[in-house]
Structure 1
Amino acid sequence: MDEERLRRELREAGLAHRPDHARMLARVERGLAAAPRASERRPAVGRRTFPGALPWASPWTGRRWTAALAVAVAVAGVVGVGGLAVTTLDRGPVAPASAPPAPGPVAAAAGTVDPGSNRWWAQGDLAVTTETQVSGLVVDVRVARTAGVVSTGHWRTRPAEDFAVTVTEEPGALHYRWTLKPGRTVPPGRHVFAVQYNHAEGVRDASADTYTVALTGADGGRSTLRGGFGGAAPAK
């Protein structure tokens, strides 16, 4: 058995988390058996041999005995610590399996054009219905920048002091956002968020207006609702 093979087997034995002791001892026996028998040993040219000389005293067999003894020492080290890999070969603690994410709050949303809208002004109503208490809520409504669209206001059925509100003019839309403040909650029920804006005279198509609602439950679970308003402001 050559040294490279013995070293490879040594590495394999050390890396095993639950070594097979019987199998390792068998490897040692095979390594010892690979050493040449007394009848096969030959003296080195120009050197005298003496009766009773030990086999490892011969340079010709020294490398094989050294490798075999290395395997024996490795096995003794592994068995001596109760079958555990030595510290230098420890791969570290096994990370616990990550827990599945908590389910998000059960909720529903619907966007409509308010029937009170007219030929110059409109209101988009977003109704969000939650089945459980919500500890995090972000509501985004985007009103497409059709002809003459200018923001004229907004409101919600929840207390004004519970939300931070922004209105941003984006290249293609008016962006309304309500963000629930830290420490505030939204109880189960139906909650309305409304956007108001002027527009060019006539019937305005609201099919390009959209909403996104992100909800967080008390246990950290999250859910997201998306949709549109998909209707036209009535002509009055």
Structure 2
Amino acid sequence: MTMRRDVHEELRARLHEAAGGHEPDRESILARVERGMAGPAASAHRATSPPVFGWMRVAGATAAVAGVLAVGGYAVASAVKDEAAPQQQEVATSPTPTPTPSPDATSRAAVPPVDPTPTTSPERRESAPPPSGKPSASVTARPPAATEDGPLWSDGSVDPHSNDFWAQSNITIKTREELTALTVRLRVAQTGGVSDAGAWRSLPENDFTLTVNEQDGFLVYTWTLREGRKVRAGEWVFAGQFDHDRGGRDAGTDRYTVTAAAGSDRLSVGGGFAAVNHTDGADDAGGDS
């Protein structure tokens, strides 16, 4: 960039020196014009041409002198213009001032830069303890009412005819094979005022023995198939009846078990008691009333 500027300055200096040293010699120019006009050809031409052409030659010579002067002036003007050019270039290359942002831009909140490195996932909560697979100690899990083992199936339910003072728990069994041994046990939790009020089964009464007693806070009904008797394939019901304190009763802690034999197979089912729909249409989930 410095070498190029030096070349330009040297060229401008030479042009300026040449323009300043040029001085047109007006007397020589006029003498040459007069000599041309005084020649023989010029005399013959003046003799045969009207006087007006002589004045035209003088005007042409004057125009030529003016042209020489104009060329000299143009050279001087060019030198001056080239001398002022660096200043104009300096102005053109000056930095452009930063424009003032609009009110909308100044009122807009700054956007933070995007961080390519992800931080901890928002779904991950370090302070939250890991979920436990065990239920809370304050919640008692209710076993399923219906269970199945091979050809034997069972279900426990509270009879819909139960009321505020009395209840009946039903155990339904289904077997696809003949049973050579069968024991059905109903355990009614002592929730207050629970006492035996009777029992029945849909199989012949003489085929079973029945015992009722209290054990570890439960009223226990036990039906046992007598030796040598059999239970044919089909669906059968065993029911225990009992009184209890006035009001709705929760059967959530009542349980039943069924053990049986089908040929050489030993079978076992059991569970809790499902909700009851009373005759008045009320729904008591897992309880009597």
**Shorter-chain-normalised TM-score: which range?**
0.5 to 0.7
Structural mapping, 1:1-236, within 5 Å: 106-218=151-263, 220-230=264-274, 231-234=286-289
- Confirm or deny: 8 A CA contact 1:105 1:222 kept in the other structure: no
Task: Measure how far apart 1:171 and its partner are.
Answer: 2.6
Report Cα offsets for 1:3-23 as digits up to 9, x if no partner. Answer: xxxxxxxxxxxxxxxxxxxxx
- Confirm or deny: 8 A CA contact 1:136 1:185 kept in the other structure: yes
Report Cα offsets for 1:163-185 as digits up to 9, x if no partner. Answer: 01100111310111011011100
How many pairs are equivalent? 130
Alpha-carbon distance in 2 for matches of 1:105, 1:182 = 23
Alpha-carbon distance in 2 for matches of 1:105, 1:162 = 24
In structure 1, give the amino acid aligned to 2:206: E
Partner SS state of residue 249, structure 2: coil
Task: Measure how far apart 1:105 and its partner are.
Answer: 5.2
Alpha-carbon distance in 2 for matches of 1:158, 1:228 = 22
Name which structure has the greater RCO, CA cutoff 8 Å, separation 6+.
Answer: 1
Unmatched runs of 5 consecutive residues or more in structure 1: 1-103
Report Cα offsets for 1:7-40 as digits up to 9, x if no partner. Answer: xxxxxxxxxxxxxxxxxxxxxxxxxxxxxxxxxx
Alpha-carbon distance in 2 for matches of 1:107, 1:138 = 13
Task: Measure how far apart 1:109 and its partner are.
Answer: 0.5
Aligned structure 1 segments of 4 or more residues deviating by more than 4 angstroms: none
Partner SS state of residue 161, structure 1: helix
Unmatched runs of 5 consecutive residues or more in structure 2: 1-148, 275-285
Alpha-carbon distance in 2 for matches of 1:174, 1:202 = 19
Kindly indicate which of the two structures has a greater share of residues assigned to helix: 2
In structure 2, give the amino acid aligned to 1:223: L
**Identity of matched residues, %:** 42
Normalising by structure 1, we get a TM-score of: 0.54
Report Cα offsets for 1:17-71 as digits up to 9, x if no partner. Answer: xxxxxxxxxxxxxxxxxxxxxxxxxxxxxxxxxxxxxxxxxxxxxxxxxxxxxxx
- Confirm or deny: 8 A CA contact 1:105 1:215 kept in the other structure: no
Partner SS state of residue 185, structure 2: strand
Partner of 1:70: none
Alpha-carbon distance in 2 for matches of 1:127, 1:211 = 11
